[in-house]
């Protein structure tokens, strides 16, 4: 499977560099005219009627909105423009767009009229250049737009949303559609982005004709499923690998059972569970195919394809000993839950993890990532991509930061955002299931990178499948996601 076909994701700095490539052409195009025209064309498709409200801010995003307003007026739409900038302080291109709007007979207001049967609001207040919290006047404007029962088209990114991180400043326009320019921005797809951007449209503005630098970030899509191939008819369990799972301390056996069941149901040939609880059951009555053993026996197995360490592991001295032994192996490791907490609490393990030869996957949620980083959960969420990149480099690991728009960062500074999943995944045991799914893919000879990417895409897609069938998102369980993942995998690999 090639990952080069995935859609690139661009941070603000990279977008600026692409804009410079446009400017370097012998006859540089007007990106603002192109953006405004694209916005106007989409706006007239989305508008409920011919009366539109355009919000134009003090920078180039406002210029894009003014171009759109001029085009819509030329197409005989009734356009009201609210302008929050100062004409003589506008950037050159935006100033030109402002003057063209005035010359076309347009007017500007400084506030939204009391009465207006708007068919659409176009948000052109702030784009990717916003690097501060919104002032009170813009906060009030955004609050009023968000209270309207009117569709909203945001230009480039909803005003108030950080295009790199998906954080709000401190609030943002809640758009029903976002037309983003040149390429996708990560802030649309992670953290708060999915709650604010609505349906995303991309206007490349001709950038596909440029010799663009290779992007570091990409958006996952269904092509990642190609990593797992159909099985040969002459198949047997030995070809499908063996997954070991270490965990299940006292009162936490359920976590390791969830991980083990996910590994088995998602295709591993054999799954061994090493349970730290001495009083743990010796058989899983719901999944008797699982082999439940003392952890010492699992560690001595010679046929393991990978080890999942952490579900229900606890933080006892015994847990620490087994984690250290796992780190000394050359097996691919999937480290989750208490394995991550133990590493965070014992900084001397950092060099051991980073020096591993067998390959390491770490799957923290934001609180676990904060412990690993020595930061707060809030700080992690303020820059999810940056956090994932720092931890991937520090531990020489494939770092999967869970959450809305899960992120996988690699030590080579590349990163991916996963678009699948829904709020139903916000319940106990989902991380255990994810680690088991990744283990199953590794066991089936999928590369470690592709196992992580397909695993997180599958995990979210399984939850989406259930919601589409009317199961969830409220009350969705990890066990249900496991069953749906099997159905989804088979639908992808063996389509009718």
User: Where among 217, 237, 255 does a domain terminate?
Assistant: 217
Q: Are 210 and 229 within one domain?
A: no
- Whether the pLDDT of residue 228 is over 80: the answer is yes
Domain boundary among 185, 217, 249: 217
pLDDT in tens, 153-188: 999 999 999 999 999 999 999 999 999 999 999 999
Q: How far is it, in rounded angstroms, from Cα 441 to Cα 398?
A: 15
* 2 lies in some domain: no
Same domain, 164 and 293: no
Q: What is the DSSP string of 298-335?
A: HHT-S--SEEEE-TT--SSHHHHHHHHHHHHS-S-EEE
Q: How confident is the model at residue 32 (pLDDT cuts 50, 70, 90)?
A: very high
Q: What is the mean pLDDT of the chain?
A: 96
* Domain extent for 117: 7-217
Q: Is the pLDDT of residue 1 over 50?
A: no
Who has greater pLDDT, 4 or 200?
Answer: 200
Clarify whether residues 230 and 205 are in a common domain.
Answer: no
108 Cβ contact list (under 8 Å, min separation 6):
56, 81, 82, 83, 101, 102
Query: Are 275 and 230 in the same domain?
Result: yes
Residue 253 maps to a domain: yes
- 65 in a domain, yes or no? yes
Here the contacts of 222-225 (C-beta below 8 Å, separation 24 or greater) are 222/457, 222/492, 223/1, 223/5, 223/6, 224/1, 224/3, 224/450, 224/453, 224/454, 224/457, 225/454, 225/457, 225/458, 225/489, 225/492, 225/493
Pair 331, 303: CB distance under 8 Å: no
Residue 96 lies in a domain: yes
Report the CATH number that the domain containing residue 342 is assigned in CATH.
3.40.1190.20
pLDDT confidence of residue 339: 98
What's the structural domain count of the chain? Answer: 2
Residue 115: which residues within 8 A CB-CB, separation 6 or more?
none
What DSSP string runs through 199-215? EEEEE-TTGGGS-PPPP
Residues 283, 297 share a domain: yes
H or E stretch covering 260: helix 253-265
**393 and 311 in a common domain:** yes
Does residue 191 come out as left (phi exceeding 0), alpha (psi in the -120 to 50 range) or beta? left
CATH of the domain at 207: 3.40.50.10260
Asked if residue 230 and residue 144 are part of one domain, the reply reads no
* Domain co-membership, 247 together with 340: yes
Pairing of strands 217-219, 7-9: antiparallel
The reported pLDDT for the residue numbered 132 is: 87
Q: Are residues 355 and 467 in the same domain?
A: yes
Whether residue 322 is found in the same domain as residue 371: yes
Per-residue pLDDT, averaged over 328-338, amounts to 98
Assess if residue 83 is contained within a domain: yes
- Are 26 and 173 in the same domain? yes
Could you tell me if residue 1 is inside a domain? no
Of 202, 217, 232, which residue sits at a domain end? Answer: 217
Q: Domain for residue 482, yes or no? A: yes
Indicate whether 486 belongs to any domain.
yes
Q: What's the average model confidence in pLDDT over 364-390? A: 98
Residues 254 and 363 both lie in one domain: yes
């Amino acid at each position: 499977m090639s990952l080069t076909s995935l859609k690139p994701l661009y941070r603000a700095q990279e977008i600026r560099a692409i804009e410079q490539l446009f400017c370097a052409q012998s006859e540089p195009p007007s990106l603002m005219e192109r953006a405004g025209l694209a916005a106007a064309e989409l706006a007239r498709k989305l508008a409920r009627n011919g009366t539109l409200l355009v919000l134009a801010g003090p920078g180039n995003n406002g210029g894009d909105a003014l171009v759109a307003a001029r085009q819509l007026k030329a197409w005989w739409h009734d356009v009201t423009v609210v302008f929050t900038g100062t004409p003589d302080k506008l950037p050159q291109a935006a100033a030109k767009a402002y003057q063209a709007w005035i010359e076309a007979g347009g007017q500007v207001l400084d506030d939204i009229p009391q009465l207006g049967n708007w068919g659409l609001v176009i948000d052109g207040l702030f784009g990717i250049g916003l690097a501060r919290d919104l002032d009170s006047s813009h906060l009030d404007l955004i609050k009023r737009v968000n209270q309207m029962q009117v569709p909203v088209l945001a230009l480039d990114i909803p005003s108030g949303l950080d295009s790199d991180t998906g954080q709000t400043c401190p609030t943002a326009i809640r758009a029903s559609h976002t037309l983003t320019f040149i390429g996708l921005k990560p802030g649309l797809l992670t953290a708060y982005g999915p709650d604010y951007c609505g349906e995303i449209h991309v206007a490349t503005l001709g950038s596909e004709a440029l010799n663009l630098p290779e992007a570091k970030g990409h958006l996952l899509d269904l092509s990642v499923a190609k990593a797992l191939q159909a099985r040969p008819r002459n198949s047997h369990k030995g070809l499908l690998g063996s997954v070991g799972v270490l965990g299940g301390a006292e009162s936490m056996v359920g976590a390791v059972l969830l991980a083990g069941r996910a590994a088995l149901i998602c295709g591993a040939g054999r799954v061994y569970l090493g349970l730290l609880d001495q009083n743990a059951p010796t058989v899983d009555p719901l999944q008797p195919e699982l082999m439940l053993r003392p952890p010492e026996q699992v560690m001595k197995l010679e046929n393991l394809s990978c080890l999942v360490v952490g579900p229900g592991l606890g933080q006892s001295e015994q847990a620490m000993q087994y984690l250290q032994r796992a780190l000394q192996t050359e097996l691919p490791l999937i480290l989750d839950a208490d394995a991550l907490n133990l590493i965070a609490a014992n900084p001397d393990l950092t060099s051991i993890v980073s020096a591993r030869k067998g390959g390491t996957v770490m799957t923290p949620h934001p609180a676990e990532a904060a412990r690993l980083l020595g930061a707060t959960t809030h700080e992690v969420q303020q820059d999810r991509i940056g956090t994932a990149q720092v931890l991937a480099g520090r531990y020489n690991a494939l770092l999967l930061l869970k959450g809305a728009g899960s992120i996988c960062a690699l030590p080579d500074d590349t990163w991916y955002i996963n678009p699948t999943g829904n709020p139903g995944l916000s319940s106990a045991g989902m991380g255990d299931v994810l680690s088991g799914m990744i283990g199953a893919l590794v066991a089936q000879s999928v590369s470690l990178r592709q196992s992580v990417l397909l695993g997180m895409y599958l995990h979210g897609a399984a939850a989406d499948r259930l919601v589409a069938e009317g199961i969830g998102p409220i009350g969705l369980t990890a066990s249900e996601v496991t069953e749906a993942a099997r159905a989804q995998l088979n639908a992808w690999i063996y389509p009718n």
